[in-house]
Amino acid sequence: MSIEEKKRLKRNDRVTIRTVATHAGVSVAAVSKVMRNAYGVSEALRARVTDAIEVLGYRPSRAARGLRGRSFTIGVLLIDIRNPFLPEVIAGVNGVLAPSHYQAMIGVSDARVQLETSLIESMIDYKMDGLILVAPSLPSDIIAKFAAQIPIVAVGYHDAGATAFDTVNADDQRGAELAVEALLACGYRDIEMLSLGEREGHQVSVVRQREIGFRRAIQRAGLGSSAPITKIPIAPPKREETMRKFLSRKNRPRAVFCWSDLDAITLLSLAMEMGVRVPEDLAVVGYDNSSTAALGLVNLASIDQSGRELGQVATRTLISRIEGRTGAEHIFQMPSLVSRNSLTRSGKAPVA
């Protein structure tokens, strides 16, 4: 950088796209093309502009870019940050965005409609190009209204009839069936499900879908027409109190399928505390195959829905919507069972 350029920068600390263009000896339009990764940009031009950006420490104004068109920012809305499954989804999103010009901005809600709505409105106000909603609690018609303003992909939201936005899901019904089938293959016939309370059981939620799959698998196995499901309150301490009561029951089942690793891991901890042996007294299968489930001290058998892949697919789907696709897509991925000691001490997959 020349002495004259340094003097100019001292007078005006704000480095603009014009500053970059001047330093690189090219037009503003040329810098814009490089930044947009436009077709037909030569490697020589790209190198000059990239070098200028690095030397000057240029950071484009997101607000200004939003006013001109795209802001190259994607909003990711999470409902429950405590769930150990979510980091894998975020890793998948970032993995797709890393080589692109897009960046992710994460917002965290707590399943309250008012807060969730407010966060989505803020992301729209900040001129984000699209939104990925992970397990949103909003009704489909509300999401559709937002989708009229901004491209949206919902993950963990089973609404195959939606036309205004896309969905990306694991086949949660099939995942629950896999859990029951694994327990049956190990010889268990007394099987119950731990699910979330009614507030989380609306038809489009993963919780509700897993309940449907559980009931179907139990009935198909000839174990009765009413599959036993214990509902867990969403908030502590009642959440843990309900699990303790479950473990203390005289008629406690020999095997349990938990709607999520989030509760399955807590159940394992409480079982150890209360002297309930796993799997000798109680076999446990979770859902999500979170990194915590694989820890040696946890060793939780779990249904793997590949959170990283869900994040990747959702991001690619959103980008294609941003780039002009109009028809809704509803993508399903097949889950699989990862067998560990909470199902069988051998740690090997059960033989059907």
- What are the pLDDT digits (tens) for 266-322? 999 999 999 999 999 999 999 999 999 999 999 999 999 999 999 999 999 999 999
Region 76-92: mean pLDDT is 88
Q: Which of 294, 302, 304, 288 is nearest to 336 (CA)?
A: 304
Q: For residues 68 and 123, which has the higher predicted lDDT (pLDDT)?
A: 123
**pLDDT at position 229 over 80:** yes
Q: For residues 245 and 118, which has the higher predicted lDDT (pLDDT)?
A: 245
Percent of the chain with pLDDT over 70: 88
What is the distance between the alpha carbons of residues 159 and 171, in angstroms, rounded to a whole number? 12
Percent of the chain with pLDDT over 90: 62
- What are the pLDDT digits (tens) for 183-212? 999 999 999 999 988 655 577 899 999 999
Average pLDDT, the chain: 87
Of the listed ranges 49-53, 120-124, 161-165, 199-203, the one predicted with least confidence? 199-203
Q: Which of 235, 335, 327 is nearest to 289 (CA)?
A: 335
| Confidence at 350, pLDDT banded by 50, 70, 90 | very low
Q: Which of 182, 179, 236 is nearest to 213 (CA)?
A: 179
- What are the pLDDT digits (tens) for 132-143? 999 998 999 999
Q: Give 3-state DSSP helix, strand, coil % of the chain, rounded to 5.
A: 45, 15, 40
pLDDT of residue 38: 67
**pLDDT at position 66 over 60:** no
What is the distance between the alpha carbons of residues 35 and 46, in angstroms, rounded to a whole number? 9
pLDDT of residue 60: 64
pLDDT of residue 108: 87
pLDDT of residue 57: 81
Half-sphere exposure of 155 (CA within 13 A, CB side): 30
Contact (Cβ atoms closer than 8 angstroms) between residue 77 and residue 104: no
Strand-pair partners of 256? 192, 284
